[in-house]
Amino acid sequence: ETVFTARALTKTYTSGETQVLALRNLDLEISAGEMVVLLGPSGSGKSTLLNIMGGLDHATSGQLFFRDQELTNLDDRGLTAYRRQHVGFVFQFYNLIPSLTAYENVALVTEISDHPMRPEEALALVGLEPRMHHFPAQLSGGEQQRVAIARAIAKRPDVLLCDEPTGALDSKTGIRVIEALLSINAQLGTTTLIITHNASIQDVADRVLFFADGQISRIHKSEVRRTAA
């Protein structure tokens, strides 16, 4: 099953007289359950693509489908409904509410979802059940990011979009976060797209997409993981 289909997807940012072509006629298909890494220099369009796939921003031209639904036809309201139902986000910064425990931070999301996990279930998936009554300040950066991941998956999204999830972490802590993402992908089958510079995840992804200047310049496919799966 194909989850995302992009056809000649293009994004231009305009500020005053200046125009920036952030995505140029991008064609791409993402299959259900895939773990895909987006690599490339700063400014090559990775975040722009993730934001459009997540319904946080509109494309300028071209088409993007989520399954059979054309996202590029939706207005803000339609995109919000799509996002709430189907998409989980993980960003570089965790955005946890400091006055709430890990459990309560996750529970905030599960209260407004249709078929959520129990917060302890989501936290167990990232290995944090033993610390679920800690406050963010009592957790390390990597643990806080794992709470943010638990929060993102608790509503059982179809896709998990991660923009530099280990960007604020040292490499050893970052690996634990990546292991949590891999484990979720394996156990729940959540289609996962990750922008990262972390070399260890490139080896375990199904595909690595190399971005250059608003286009995908090269794709590396992992045969190992596909045949192992």
Q: What does the alpha-carbon distance between residue 183 and residue 216 come to, in Å, rounded to a whole number?
A: 27
Q: Which stretch binds ligand ADP (CB under 6 A): 83-91, 119-127, 170-178, 198-206?
A: 83-91
Q: Which is nearer to ligand ADP, 13 or 220 (CB)?
A: 13
Task: Report the phi/psi class of residue 6: left, alpha or beta, with left for phi > 0 and alpha for psi in -120 to 50.
Answer: beta
Residue 228 Cβ vs ligand ADP, minimum distance, rounded to whole Å: 30
CA–CA distance, 169 with 145 (Å, rounded to integer): 9
CB of 198 to ligand ADP, least distance (A): 15
CB 207 to ligand ADP: min, Å: 17
Q: Residue 43: name the closest of 217, 169, 165, 211 by CA.
A: 211
Q: Please identify, among the stretches 25-33, 58-66, 78-86, 129-137, the one whose residues bind ligand ADP according to the rule CB under 6 A.
A: 78-86
Q: Is the dihedral of CA 182, 184, 187, 189 positive or negative?
A: negative
Q: How is residue 78 written in tokens?
A: 């339609």
DSSP of 140-178, one letter per residue?
A: -HHHHHHHHHHHHHTT--SEEEEESTTTTS-HHHHHHHH
Q: How far is the CB of 95 from ligand ADP (least distance, A)?
A: 5
Candidate list 46, 86, 131, 146; residue touching ligand ADP; CB under 6 A? 46
22 contacts ligand ADP (rule: CB under 6 A): yes
Query: Edge-to-edge, what's the strand order for the sheet holding 87-90?
Result: 87-90, 159-163, 191-195, 35-39, 207-212, 215-221
191-220 binders of ligand ADP (CB under 6 A): 211
The reply to whether 156 sits near ligand ADP by the rule CB under 6 A is no
Q: Check residue 20 for interaction with ligand ADP (CB under 6 A).
A: yes
Mark 87-126 with x for binding to ligand ADP (rule: CB under 6 A) and - for no binding. --x-x---x-------------------------------
